[in-house]
Amino acid sequence: MSLHPVSERILSGQAPEPLLRAAARGAVPVPPVELIRLQVFLAAGGNAGLAQEAHSGLMERHGDEFLAVVGDAACEPQVLDWVSRHRRDDLELMAAVVGHARTPNRALLDLAGGAGGDLLDRMLDNQVRLLQSPELVAALDANPAMAGAARARLHDIHRELERRAGKEAARRAGPAQMIKRSRKPMPRRRQGLQAGPPRRRDRKTPALRKRRTTTIFWSAS
Protein backbone atom coordinates (compact mmCIF):
# COMPACT_ATOMS: atom_id res chain seq x y z
CA MET A 1 0.00 0.00 0.00
CA SER A 2 1.46 3.37 -1.06
CA LEU A 3 1.75 6.08 1.55
CA HIS A 4 1.36 9.83 1.39
CA PRO A 5 4.76 11.55 0.82
CA VAL A 6 4.48 13.24 4.23
CA SER A 7 3.94 9.86 5.90
CA GLU A 8 6.93 8.38 4.08
CA ARG A 9 9.19 11.23 5.26
CA ILE A 10 8.10 10.81 8.89
CA LEU A 11 8.31 7.01 8.95
CA SER A 12 11.73 7.06 7.29
CA GLY A 13 13.11 9.45 9.94
CA GLN A 14 13.83 12.22 7.43
CA ALA A 15 11.18 14.73 8.54
CA PRO A 16 12.16 17.98 10.33
CA GLU A 17 10.99 18.49 13.89
CA PRO A 18 8.23 21.03 13.06
CA LEU A 19 6.62 18.45 10.77
CA LEU A 20 6.98 15.77 13.45
CA ARG A 21 5.26 17.98 16.01
CA ALA A 22 2.45 18.74 13.59
CA ALA A 23 2.00 14.98 12.99
CA ALA A 24 1.99 14.31 16.73
CA ARG A 25 -0.89 16.79 17.12
CA GLY A 26 -2.70 15.22 14.16
CA ALA A 27 -2.31 18.38 12.06
CA VAL A 28 -0.78 17.07 8.81
CA PRO A 29 -2.72 16.60 5.54
CA VAL A 30 -2.67 12.80 5.31
CA PRO A 31 -5.55 10.24 5.31
CA PRO A 32 -6.94 9.53 8.82
CA VAL A 33 -5.77 5.91 8.74
CA GLU A 34 -2.20 7.00 8.04
CA LEU A 35 -2.38 9.79 10.61
CA ILE A 36 -3.20 7.35 13.41
CA ARG A 37 -0.32 5.17 12.28
CA LEU A 38 2.00 8.19 12.38
CA GLN A 39 0.85 9.17 15.86
CA VAL A 40 1.37 5.62 17.15
CA PHE A 41 4.82 5.61 15.57
CA LEU A 42 5.73 8.88 17.27
CA ALA A 43 4.21 7.80 20.60
CA ALA A 44 6.62 4.85 20.66
CA GLY A 45 9.64 6.93 19.62
CA GLY A 46 12.61 8.05 21.66
CA ASN A 47 11.68 11.74 21.81
CA ALA A 48 9.77 12.06 25.09
CA GLY A 49 8.12 15.35 24.16
CA LEU A 50 6.87 14.08 20.82
CA ALA A 51 5.79 10.78 22.36
CA GLN A 52 3.67 12.52 25.00
CA GLU A 53 2.11 14.84 22.45
CA ALA A 54 1.28 11.98 20.09
CA HIS A 55 -0.16 9.89 22.93
CA SER A 56 -2.42 12.75 24.02
CA GLY A 57 -3.60 13.23 20.45
CA LEU A 58 -4.45 9.54 20.13
CA MET A 59 -6.39 9.51 23.40
CA GLU A 60 -8.58 12.33 22.12
CA ARG A 61 -9.70 10.34 19.10
CA HIS A 62 -13.10 8.64 18.95
CA GLY A 63 -13.46 4.89 18.89
CA ASP A 64 -14.98 4.97 15.41
CA GLU A 65 -11.75 6.41 14.04
CA PHE A 66 -9.80 3.49 15.47
CA LEU A 67 -12.37 0.98 14.23
CA ALA A 68 -11.74 2.18 10.68
CA VAL A 69 -8.03 1.51 11.19
CA VAL A 70 -8.29 -1.78 13.07
CA GLY A 71 -10.84 -3.05 10.57
CA ASP A 72 -8.22 -2.92 7.84
CA ALA A 73 -6.62 -6.35 7.25
CA ALA A 74 -3.27 -4.58 6.67
CA CYS A 75 -3.35 -2.70 9.98
CA GLU A 76 0.11 -2.45 11.50
CA PRO A 77 0.82 -4.70 14.53
CA GLN A 78 2.22 -1.63 16.33
CA VAL A 79 -1.14 0.11 16.03
CA LEU A 80 -3.05 -2.96 17.22
CA ASP A 81 -0.71 -3.26 20.20
CA TRP A 82 -1.20 0.40 21.16
CA VAL A 83 -4.98 0.13 20.92
CA SER A 84 -5.00 -3.05 23.03
CA ARG A 85 -3.14 -1.26 25.83
CA HIS A 86 -4.79 2.16 25.82
CA ARG A 87 -8.41 1.74 24.64
CA ARG A 88 -9.58 -1.21 26.70
CA ASP A 89 -12.78 0.45 27.80
CA ASP A 90 -14.06 0.28 24.23
CA LEU A 91 -15.31 -3.34 24.06
CA GLU A 92 -16.21 -3.15 20.38
CA LEU A 93 -12.73 -1.96 19.57
CA MET A 94 -11.17 -4.64 21.77
CA ALA A 95 -13.21 -7.34 20.02
CA ALA A 96 -11.85 -6.13 16.67
CA VAL A 97 -8.29 -6.19 18.03
CA VAL A 98 -8.67 -9.69 19.46
CA GLY A 99 -9.96 -11.05 16.17
CA HIS A 100 -7.32 -9.40 13.99
CA ALA A 101 -4.77 -11.75 12.42
CA ARG A 102 -1.90 -9.26 12.90
CA THR A 103 -2.43 -8.53 16.59
CA PRO A 104 0.84 -9.43 18.37
CA ASN A 105 0.76 -12.37 20.74
CA ARG A 106 2.08 -10.21 23.58
CA ALA A 107 -1.02 -8.01 23.29
CA LEU A 108 -3.34 -11.02 23.46
CA LEU A 109 -1.41 -12.47 26.40
CA ASP A 110 -1.85 -9.19 28.25
CA LEU A 111 -5.59 -9.24 27.57
CA ALA A 112 -6.15 -12.94 28.29
CA GLY A 113 -5.69 -12.73 32.04
CA GLY A 114 -8.45 -10.15 32.56
CA ALA A 115 -10.84 -10.66 29.67
CA GLY A 116 -14.43 -11.47 30.48
CA GLY A 117 -17.85 -11.86 28.93
CA ASP A 118 -18.03 -11.18 25.21
CA LEU A 119 -14.32 -10.42 24.92
CA LEU A 120 -13.46 -13.80 26.43
CA ASP A 121 -15.78 -15.50 23.94
CA ARG A 122 -14.12 -13.62 21.10
CA MET A 123 -10.72 -14.86 22.20
CA LEU A 124 -12.00 -18.44 22.33
CA ASP A 125 -13.46 -18.01 18.84
CA ASN A 126 -9.96 -17.51 17.46
CA GLN A 127 -9.07 -21.20 17.62
CA VAL A 128 -6.43 -20.96 14.90
CA ARG A 129 -4.41 -18.52 17.03
CA LEU A 130 -4.99 -20.54 20.22
CA LEU A 131 -3.78 -23.78 18.65
CA GLN A 132 -0.64 -21.97 17.52
CA SER A 133 -0.01 -20.42 20.95
CA PRO A 134 -0.09 -22.83 23.92
CA GLU A 135 1.09 -19.96 26.13
CA LEU A 136 -2.06 -18.03 25.25
CA VAL A 137 -4.19 -21.04 26.20
CA ALA A 138 -2.37 -21.19 29.54
CA ALA A 139 -3.06 -17.49 30.14
CA LEU A 140 -6.76 -17.99 29.45
CA ASP A 141 -6.79 -21.02 31.72
CA ALA A 142 -5.60 -18.82 34.59
CA ASN A 143 -8.34 -16.25 33.99
CA PRO A 144 -10.77 -16.23 36.99
CA ALA A 145 -13.66 -15.48 34.64
CA MET A 146 -13.13 -18.74 32.78
CA ALA A 147 -16.09 -20.92 33.79
CA GLY A 148 -19.09 -22.81 32.46
CA ALA A 149 -19.35 -23.02 28.68
CA ALA A 150 -16.14 -21.02 28.23
CA ARG A 151 -14.24 -23.50 30.39
CA ALA A 152 -15.65 -26.40 28.37
CA ARG A 153 -14.51 -24.75 25.12
CA LEU A 154 -11.05 -24.20 26.53
CA HIS A 155 -10.94 -27.86 27.63
CA ASP A 156 -11.61 -28.93 24.03
CA ILE A 157 -8.71 -26.77 22.88
CA HIS A 158 -6.47 -28.35 25.53
CA ARG A 159 -7.39 -31.81 24.24
CA GLU A 160 -6.62 -30.84 20.65
CA LEU A 161 -3.23 -29.45 21.69
CA GLU A 162 -2.44 -32.70 23.51
CA ARG A 163 -3.50 -34.73 20.48
CA ARG A 164 -1.25 -32.69 18.22
CA ALA A 165 1.66 -32.92 20.64
CA GLY A 166 1.31 -36.71 20.80
CA LYS A 167 1.17 -36.96 17.03
CA GLU A 168 4.28 -34.80 16.68
CA ALA A 169 6.14 -36.86 19.30
CA ALA A 170 5.27 -40.07 17.43
CA ARG A 171 6.43 -38.54 14.15
CA ARG A 172 9.78 -37.54 15.64
CA ALA A 173 10.26 -40.92 17.35
CA GLY A 174 9.49 -42.82 14.14
CA PRO A 175 12.89 -42.44 12.40
CA ALA A 176 14.74 -43.17 15.66
CA GLN A 177 12.81 -46.42 16.09
CA MET A 178 13.59 -47.45 12.53
CA ILE A 179 17.31 -46.83 13.08
CA LYS A 180 17.19 -48.82 16.31
CA ARG A 181 15.55 -51.77 14.59
CA SER A 182 18.02 -51.62 11.71
CA ARG A 183 20.92 -52.09 14.15
CA LYS A 184 19.78 -55.55 15.23
CA PRO A 185 22.13 -58.34 13.97
CA MET A 186 20.80 -60.14 10.95
CA PRO A 187 20.45 -63.96 10.95
CA ARG A 188 23.42 -65.77 9.47
CA ARG A 189 21.38 -67.06 6.58
CA ARG A 190 20.27 -63.49 5.67
CA GLN A 191 23.93 -62.40 5.68
CA GLY A 192 24.77 -65.07 3.11
CA LEU A 193 26.57 -67.28 5.68
CA GLN A 194 25.95 -70.97 6.25
CA ALA A 195 25.42 -72.39 9.68
CA GLY A 196 27.85 -75.28 8.89
CA PRO A 197 30.00 -76.62 6.07
CA PRO A 198 28.18 -76.88 2.76
CA ARG A 199 26.67 -80.23 1.98
CA ARG A 200 28.52 -82.22 -0.64
CA ARG A 201 26.28 -82.88 -3.56
CA ASP A 202 26.50 -86.07 -5.55
CA ARG A 203 26.78 -84.89 -9.09
CA LYS A 204 26.55 -88.34 -10.67
CA THR A 205 23.66 -88.95 -12.93
CA PRO A 206 20.77 -91.09 -11.64
CA ALA A 207 21.91 -93.97 -13.93
CA LEU A 208 25.45 -94.00 -12.52
CA ARG A 209 24.17 -93.91 -8.98
CA LYS A 210 22.02 -96.96 -9.74
CA ARG A 211 24.96 -98.86 -11.25
CA ARG A 212 27.16 -98.04 -8.32
CA THR A 213 24.55 -99.35 -5.93
CA THR A 214 24.19 -102.56 -7.95
CA THR A 215 27.96 -103.14 -8.06
CA ILE A 216 28.31 -102.81 -4.33
CA PHE A 217 25.44 -105.26 -3.84
CA TRP A 218 27.04 -108.05 -5.88
CA SER A 219 30.45 -107.52 -4.33
CA ALA A 220 28.94 -108.12 -0.93
CA SER A 221 27.66 -111.53 -2.03
Q: What is the pLDDT of residues 31-57, one digit of tens each?
A: 988 999 999 999 999 899 999 999 999
pLDDT under 50: residue ranges of the chain = 191, 193, 208, 210, 212-221
- Please write the tens of the pLDDT for every residue from 144-179: 989 899 999 999 999 999 999 999 899 888 766 655
Task: Give the pLDDT confidence score for residue 180 in this predicted structure.
Answer: 59
Helix axes 91-98, 105-112, angle to 10 degrees: 130
Longest CA span, the chain: 135
Q: Residue 72 to residues 22, 50, 77: CA-CA distances in angstroms?
A: 25, 26, 11
- CB burial readout 100-136, b (16+ within 10 A) else e: bebbeeebbebbbeebeeebbebbbebeebbeebeeb
Task: Give the pLDDT confidence score for residue 92 in this predicted structure.
Answer: 92
